């Protein structure tokens, strides 16, 4: 009987000890969970309630040589107090894109405190020359037909940028007539893919038709034969024109002008004097 009592007493003591140990572990886990909850809540408050309202910790600016970082931030309305929630990216983008030298702008903010700005500059598809009191100046025209920049001292260092003449009263910060936009688009594409083709053309003269639209007269660098086309031309068409010019230059009885407006080259042989 004593043996049974001792066994039951020992078993009860072990169960009690186990319960106490389990209670301690449970209590410890509860404390850890409470502490973890407090830390998580504090981080959540910081992440959602505080950090988006403090100034950006990182502002990335990818611009171009015409603008300094400070000029870009000023133009976009970004200052030391700008934060995630106070910054309207669409408004910043519109402000940046309003500058005539900027073709497009991309503005992105990353939660909670980062801002990135990317500016794409306008690139010249062609230039036009005009006279000033001090000499000849140059207007730059982009692929959208926008006249975006004036250079007072004209210098044609880049031979892959064609000169367009015959434009009617070109002005800075204006766009060429809609009928001429395809020409500028194609010039931009040819300049990017095959600049050597454009370097073979010294001038493109715009001539208004009697009723509507424009003709283009191309003046090659290494030929006296002019080429007349519709108000635009492709890279393949330009290659074909230059090939025909090369063939005719070998002939003494060459034409003064080749007309490609029909898609096929037609010409009249110059009469011998």
Given a cut of 50, whether residue 210 has pLDDT beyond it is: yes
- The answer on 142 and 63 residing in a single domain is no
The string of DSSP codes covering the chain is -HHHHHHHHHHHHHHHHHHHHHHHHHHHHHHHHHHHHHHHHHHHIIIIIIGGGSBPSEEEEE--TTS-HHHHHHHHT--TT-BTTT--HHHHHHHHHTSTTEEEEEEEEETTTEEEEEEEE---SEEEEEEETTEEEEEEE-TTSEEEEEESS-----TTS-BEE--SS--TTEE--GGGHHHHHHHHHHHHH-HHHHTTEEEEEEEE-SSSSEEEEEEESS-S-EEEE-S---HHHHHHHHHHHHHHTT-SS-EEEEE-TTSS-EEEEPPP-
Task: Name the domain count of the chain.
Answer: 3
> What is the residue range of 156's domain?
126-269
pLDDT at residue 22 in the model: 62
Do residues 210 and 137 share a domain?
Answer: yes
- Quickly state the pLDDT bin for 273 (edges 50, 70, 90): very low
Is there a single domain that holds both residue 1 and residue 105?
A: no
CATH number of the domain within which 67 lies: 3.10.20.310
Judge whether residue 20 has pLDDT over 80: no
| Within a domain: 47 | no
Mean pLDDT, residues 46-54 taken together: 59
pLDDT tens-digit map of 247-264: 877 766 777 888 887 666
pLDDT: is 30 or 241 the higher one?
A: 241
pLDDT at 42 over 60: no
The reply to whether 22 and 144 lie within a common domain is: no
Residue 42 maps to a domain: no
Residue 49 included in any domain = no
Do 29 and 76 reside in the same domain of the chain?
no
Q: What is the tens place of the pLDDT at every residue in 100-122?
A: 999 999 999 998 889 999 999 99
Whether 161 is covered by a domain: the verdict is: yes
Q: Note whether 112 and 68 are same-domain residues.
A: yes
Q: Are both 108 and 196 inside the same structural domain?
A: no
Query: Is residue 84 located within the same domain as residue 171?
Result: no
Taking only the tens place, the pLDDT of each residue in 124-139 is: 999 998 887 777 788 9
> What is the arithmetic mean of pLDDT over 65-70?
92
In this structure, are 189 and 242 located in the same domain? yes
């Amino acid at each position: 009987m004593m043996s049974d009592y001792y066994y039951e007493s020992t078993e009860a003591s072990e169960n009690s000890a186990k319960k106490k140990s389990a209670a301690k572990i449970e209590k410890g886990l509860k404390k850890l969970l409470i502490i973890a909850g407090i830390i998580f809540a504090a981080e959540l408050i910081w992440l959602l309630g505080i950090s988006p309202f403090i100034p950006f910790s990182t502002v990335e600016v990818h611009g171009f040589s015409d603008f300094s970082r400070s000029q870009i931030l000023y133009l976009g309305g970004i200052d030391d107090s700008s934060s995630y929630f106070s910054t309207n990216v669409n408004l910043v983008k519109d402000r940046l894109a309003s500058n005539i030298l900027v073709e497009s702008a991309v503005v992105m903010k990353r939660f909670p405190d980062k801002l990135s700005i990317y500016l794409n500059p306008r690139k010249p598809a062609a230039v036009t020359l005009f006279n000033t009191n001090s000499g000849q100046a140059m207007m730059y025209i982009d692929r959208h037909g926008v006249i975006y920049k004036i250079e007072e001292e004209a210098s044609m260092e880049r031979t892959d940028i064609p000169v367009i003449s015959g434009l009617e009263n070109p002005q800075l910060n204006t766009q060429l007539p809609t009928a001429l936009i395809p020409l500028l688009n194609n010039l931009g594409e040819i300049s990017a893919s095959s600049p050597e083709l454009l370097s073979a053309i010294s001038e493109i003269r715009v001539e208004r038709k009697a009723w509507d639209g424009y003709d283009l007269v191309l003046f090659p660098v290494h030929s006296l034969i002019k080429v007349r086309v519709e108000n635009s031309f492709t890279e393949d068409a330009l290659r074909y024109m230059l090939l025909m010019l090369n063939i005719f230059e070998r002939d003494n009885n060459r034409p003064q002008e080749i007309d490609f407006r029909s898609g096929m080259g037609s010409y009249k042989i110059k009469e011998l004097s």
